[in-house]
Amino acid sequence: MKAWGIVLTLMIGIALGVAGAILVVAPELAAPLLPQSFRAKPQLVEGEVDRKMREGDRLLLTVQTSQGTVLATFRKKVPEIDLLVQKGDTLTLGLQRYAPFADDPAIERVRKPETATRSKGDEPLPLASKEAAPQEKPSP
């Protein structure tokens, strides 16, 4: 009976050790393997892009938020993010928790700055309908 108690205690210890390592030490590695109900919901942080710098295969963005400044480093989809995000844009980042340094945070939303005044030349052109009205022929 003593042997079963020792084996049971050992198995419970191993299970707690593995679960702790997965959930505390390396959550970003374990998150894709866990069911959705066990994953931590990201905290949405919104701020304005203050600086943008591309260094080879990584992109650095400095984002001013209400909680402080975040330096977001992107190593995945660098060309796409570089085209999408510009200085002055408002970003909504999905972070596990607020931290001044974020590696590959999820970009939830990008809003471009609104221009105060639009000139008449900047107005979008109306789309042509399929049933366009017949055009009048110029008179000779």
DSSP for 30-97? Answer: HGGGS-GGGSPPPEEEEEEEEEEEEETTEEEEEEEESS-EEEEEE-SSHHHHHHH--TT-EEEEEESS
Q: How many domains does the chain have?
A: 2
Q: Are residues 62 and 34 in the same domain?
A: no
Examine residue 128 and state whether it is found in any structural domain, yes or no: no
HEC readout, 5-35: HHHHHHHHHHHHHHHHHHHHHCHHHHHHHCC
For residue 55, give the nearest of 32, 71, 34, 41 by alpha carbon.
71
CATH of the domain at 96: 2.40.50.140
Asked if 117 and 75 count as a contact pair (C-beta separation under 8 A), the reply is: no
Examine residue 139 and state whether it is found in any structural domain, yes or no: no
To the nearest whole number, what is the mean pLDDT of the chain?
79
pTM (global) more than 0.85: no
Q: Are residues 9 and 67 in the same domain?
A: no
Q: Is the pLDDT of residue 39 over 60?
A: yes
Q: Are residues 49 and 106 in the same domain?
A: yes
Gap between the Cα atoms of 15 and 11, Å rounded: 6
Q: Are residues 14 and 47 in the same domain?
A: no
Q: Are residues 31 and 53 in the same domain?
A: no
Asked if 73 and 101 count as a contact pair (C-beta separation under 8 A), the reply is: yes
Q: Is the pLDDT of residue 2 over 70?
A: yes
Q: Is the pLDDT of residue 119 over 60?
A: no
Q: Are residues 32 and 52 in the same domain?
A: no
- Give the domain range for residue 74: 43-111
Q: Are residues 28 and 70 in the same domain?
A: no
Q: Is the pLDDT of residue 115 over 60?
A: yes
Structure tokens at 134: 């017949």
Partners of residue 59 on adjacent β-strands: 54, 74
Report the share of the chain in percent with pLDDT over 70: 67
pLDDT in tens, 58-87: 999 999 988 889 999 999 999 999 899 999
Examine residue 64 and state whether it is found in any structural domain, yes or no: yes
With tokens 């590695």, the residue in question is 29
Examine residue 97 and state whether it is found in any structural domain, yes or no: yes
